[in-house]
Amino acid sequence: MKTDADDLKVRDLLDLKSQQMLVVNPEYQRGSVWTIAQKKKLVDSVLRGYPIPLIYLHHIRQAAGKLVSERYEVIDGQQRINALSDFYEGAFKLFDPNLDEAEARFPDFIKRQQCPWGRRSFHELTEEIKSRFLDTPLRIVRIETHDSNEARDLFVRLQSGMPLNAQEKRDAWPGQFTDFILRLGGKPGLARYPGHDFFNILMGAQKVQDRGKFRQLAAQIAVLYFTRRANTNDSFCDIKAEAVDDFYYENLGFDSESTDARRLFEIFDKLTILLRDQKRSKIIGHEAIHLVLLVDSLIDDYTREWEGGFAAAFDSFRHQFALGKQTRDDVSPGEYWLRYGVHTRVNSDRADAIERRHEFFSAKMRETLDPQLKDPQRLYGALERELIYHRDKKRCAVCGNEVPWPEMEIHHIEEHSKGGETTLQNGALVHRDKCHPKGVAATAAFAKKWAEAKARVASSNVAPLSDDESLDEDDDDSGLSSEVASN
């Protein structure tokens, strides 16, 4: 095999293609598979002067009688050549970085640059831009061999390289969020990105090329954490690949020194200290997610006594989950499997599965930790508010309608000014403004209805919501808060 590197202008490649002197061999080539969006971005890259990967061409010379035929067969570069040709033929118009933001998804620095070819086909370009496109040199490698099997073998070898996975592509995004995740999850081989000890010690991240496994988990945790912080600790969101990509794009202006960003690192610091005793197996992905979200709800409103029992509480949860996992094939599996384990399997990166797991994990951890509010006579803490919100199925105990998190309040059934404790059993979810009982008469009336509803629920053998049992979403909401709302 003989190889020769050379430059061919775009116009030369297109001319060869139009004269059928640049062809693909359908016996081993896959045909055109790029989307229109991919083609648009390739042409945009050419017009911006970005380098284009090498194109490999098999130079074939054949003689018959007194005639000699020459042509190129494309070994690698078919999709790029097709994109250039389709644009030249007028098959599509290019992206405008701002007007087509939803589909194009260019970074901010691109949006700030002029784009005179935006939303234009080749024939609508100025003569200067047409010439720039056609005269762009493309680097090619010309292959000469009399054995076509060598060309095919080269094709196989070129295609067998390992393409970038989703997280490796995100690592190339501009903006501080990319750097934030690299610092958090680490990147082996780069001294400035050693990664947090939470991943290195508690999760056993090895200093080898892991292809972004821990950075992806760090990104997923960060997406959940920042989404919840922006929505006052209520919203759960998908952390599928598409959702994480969207977050990267929507947070190109991310401030890695913001209060919430520093807080996330502090949460990882605290977890590393609390669980660093090396007395348990490696933490796995879904555990890491819920540990971070739980600590986020504990560190502001509660005294620090919970920290001393945190490791033991986590170990207890793990033990019970392991026992529950053994029942997964039973006729009646245990609650740790039904309410947590099932949701670590299918669709575990969806918001509803994460929410169900976290509701159960938080409740069980709280039972063991019994965290004490810094001011128990003041307001419910973040953890109690979240637990009651989900316990009551997000429905107001007064009107029975759904309560958006920004409109929620936890009402003391027995007034705390009269000795009512700030406990789960003494709390009810209500709308803050329109439904929250105010005044002696309204508070007394609500407490009376609540007690009557509780008695009816008990007599009908229906477990009340305050016993931390959640109804299925397709149930008729016959729990305690809806009993109050209906009276």
pLDDT in tens, the chain (487 residues): 888 999 999 999 999 999 999 998 877 777 788 999 999 999 999 999 999 999 999 999 888 888 988 999 999 999 999 999 999 999 999 999 999 998 998 888 899 999 999 999 999 999 999 999 999 999 999 999 888 888 888 888 887 777 788 998 899 888 889 999 999 999 887 888 999 999 999 998 865 567 789 999 999 999 999 999 887 656 789 999 999 999 998 898 899 999 999 999 999 999 999 999 888 999 999 999 999 999 999 998 889 999 999 999 999 999 999 999 999 999 999 999 999 999 998 889 999 999 999 999 999 999 999 898 887 666 777 778 888 888 888 888 888 888 887 788 888 878 766 667 778 888 888 888 888 887 777 878 888 887 777 777 666 654 443 333 332 333 333 345 555 555 5
In a domain, 174, yes or no: yes
Check residue 161 and give its pLDDT.
77
Query: Helices marked H in 410-467 — which ranges?
Result: 440-459
In a domain, 338, yes or no: yes
Question: Smallest Cα–Cα separation from 95: which of 163, 50, 44, 29?
Answer: 44
Q: Which domain holds residue 438?
A: 388-485
Question: Final residue of a domain: which of 369, 400, 420?
Answer: 369
How many of the other CB atoms lie within 10 Å of CB of 8? 20
Residues 33 and 123 in one domain: yes
Residues 138 and 262 in one domain: no
Residues 308 and 420 in one domain: no
Residues 150 and 173 in one domain: no
Residues 398 and 476 in one domain: yes
Residues 196 and 231 in one domain: yes
In a domain, 340, yes or no: yes
Check residue 447 and give its pLDDT.
81
Residues 22 and 133 in one domain: yes
In a domain, 379, yes or no: no
Residues 128 and 12 in one domain: yes
Rounded CA gap, 86 and 282, in Å?
A: 52
Domain count, the chain: 3
Check residue 205 and give its pLDDT.
84
Residues 64 and 116 in one domain: yes
Residues 150 and 231 in one domain: no
Kind and range of the H or E run holding 247: helix 241-250
In a domain, 312, yes or no: yes
- Decide: 381 and 371 in contact? Cβ < 8 Å: yes
In a domain, 239, yes or no: yes
Residues 68 and 140 in one domain: yes
CA dihedral for 315, 319, 320, 324, sign (positive or negative): positive
β-bridge partners, 138:
8
Residues 177 and 245 in one domain: yes
What SS3 state is found at 9?
strand
Check residue 474 and give its pLDDT.
36
Spatial neighbors of 161 by CB under 8 A, at least 6 apart, are none
Question: Smallest Cα–Cα separation from 422: which of 480, 375, 365, 361?
Answer: 375
Q: What phi, psi does 190 have (nearest 5°)?
A: -115, 110
